[in-house]
Amino acid sequence: MNIQHTDLEIQREPFARPFAFKGSAFHEKWNLLVRLRDESSIESFGLGGLAVLWSDARVFSRHSEMGGNALMVAVLERGLALARQMGEVRHPTDLLLGILPDVEEYARHVTGVEDLSRTFVLNALVALDNAAWVLWARANSIRDFDALIPARAAAGLGDRQQQIALAPAVGYNMPDEQIQSLLGQGAAVLKVKIGHPGEEEEMVAGDIAGLTRLHSLVGDAPTSLTTDGRVAYYLDANGRYRHRGPLERVLDAAETMGLTDRILLLEEPFAADVVDEVDVHGLPVRVAADESLHDPADVKRRHELGYGAVAIKPAGKTLSVAFEMIEQAQRNDMTAFVADNACVPWLVEWNKNVAARLPAFPGVRGGLIESNGAENYGRWLQMLAEHPCAGAPWLATRAGAFHLDDDYWHQSGGIFLDPSPFDRLLRT
C-alpha cells in the first residue's frame, strides 16, 4: 500500500441539544472525510467524528468549540501529509504506527499541551485509519470484516452475536420525557453521565440527585435483554473524580436506592492525572477504562489497579488501536465492550462490527454497545435513510437492540461501500 494522494473535507452536524458530560457540553459534531488514492489509482474513503471534550478536556476548555475542532483538523492534515511520505507500507497498522510519533509531536506543538492525551491524536486520525483499512481491503479484494482481524486479536473476536443491546446515553440535561421515551422504545441499559458540573461537593450532590431522579423514572422497568429482567445502568464519570472517597459516597447512595446489582459498569471514574495511581479494588461494581487507554500497556496497568472492563472505540481511537486493546484485554481476562462518541450511522457500523464479535457482556443477553446518536441528532432518521444500506433491518435498533441477520454478516455492516452521502462532499 503506497498512498500517493489525499483529500480532506469537513461536515458539521448539529446536536438536537447541547451534549453534556465531563462537567461541560458541546453543540455539534465535526465529521471529517478522507479520500486516499494509491499508486494503482485505487481509491478509498474514511470517516471520523471529532470529540475534543472527550479526548482532552484541557484543549476544549482553552479554545472555542470551533477552535478545538480546528486543531484536530490540523492534526489530521499533518497525518495525511506524513502518510503520503511513508512510501510502501505492508498493512494499515504499520501506517498508523509509522506516522504516530511525528503526529503526536505536531499535536503537542499546535495545542500547546506538552502532555497532550494520545486519545486526542488518535481521535483526529480515525478518518485516515478507516480509509487505510478500506484501501488495503480493496487492494487485496477483501469484503469481509473477519478478514481484517489480525491473528493476535482473533481469539477475542470469535463470537457472532445475534443481538447487541443498545446503551443510549443519558446526559445531565436529558428531559424526563425523553428518558421515558427511551424506555418505551425498549432500552435495556442506560448509560448515565455522572460527574455533574461544579466543584467536588456540588458534583457529588448533583450525581446523587441525578441517580435519584433517574431511578424514580426507571423503577423496576422490565426487559428481556438483561439476565435479571430489569433495566440496567452503566455509569460514566468521564474522569471527573479525583479521589475514591467522593465516588464511594455516590456508590453508597446507589446502594441505598437498591441500584448496585443493576450497575453493569462504572466507566472512567478518575481524572487523567491521577488515574494511574488510584486503585479500584473493593469497589462494589465493575470498573471500566475508556479515554485514559492509549495502548496495550495502559490496559495492563488498569488491570493491575483492579479494573475489570475495557471500552473499545474503533470510531474513537482507530480500528488499528482497537485490535491491540482487544488482544491485551483478552490476555488480562478483562471484559471488552464497544462505546460510542456520538457517532453518525456510518461510524456506528465500524463500532458494531467489533461489538458483534465480542463475547456476550455479563448481565446482558448478547453483546453490548453504547450508541447515542438517536437521542442527540435531530437528523438521525434522515441520516439512516441516507445510508447506502438504508432499510436494512440491522441498521436501526428494534426493541432496545440491534438484531443481526445473515445479510448483516454478508455485508459487514456496509463498511466496504463508499460512505454516501459524505463522499459527495469532495470535489471529483
CA 64 – CA 268 distance, rounded (Å): 25
Q: What is the maximal distance between C-alpha atoms in the chain?
A: 64
Q: How confident is the model at residue 185 (pLDDT cuts 50, 70, 90)?
A: very high
Domain 3-141 identical in fold to domain 151-425: no
Residues 89-134 pLDDT 10s: 999 999 999 999 999 999 999 999 999 999 999 999 999 999 999 9
Residues 286-340 pLDDT 10s: 999 998 999 999 999 999 999 999 999 999 999 999 999 999 999 999 999 999 8
pLDDT above 90 as % of the chain: 93
Euclidean distance between the first and final Cα of the chain, in Å? 22
153-168 average pLDDT score: 97
| CB-neighbour burial class of residue 113 (10 A; exposed 0-12, middle 13-18, buried 19+) | middle
Is residue 427 over pLDDT 80?
no
Mean pLDDT over all residues of the chain?
96
* 3-141 classified as CATH 3.30.2290.10: no
CA 349 – CA 383 distance, rounded (Å): 13
Q: Tell me what pLDDT residue 378 has.
A: 95
**C-alpha grid cell for residue 6?**
489525499
Question: What kind of architecture, by CATH, is found in domain 151-425?
Answer: Alpha-Beta Barrel (3.20)
250-264 average pLDDT score: 97
Domain boundaries of the chain, sorted by first residue:
3-141, 151-425
Q: What is the pTM for the complete model shown?
A: 0.95
CA 320 – CA 361 distance, rounded (Å): 22
3-state secondary structure (DSSP) of residue 136: helix
DSSP lists the bridge partners of residue 59 as none
Amino acid at 315: A
CA 191 to each of CA 166, 170, 220, 320: distance values in angstroms, whole numbers, following the listed order: 9, 6, 16, 26
Position with higher pLDDT, 173 vs 379:
379
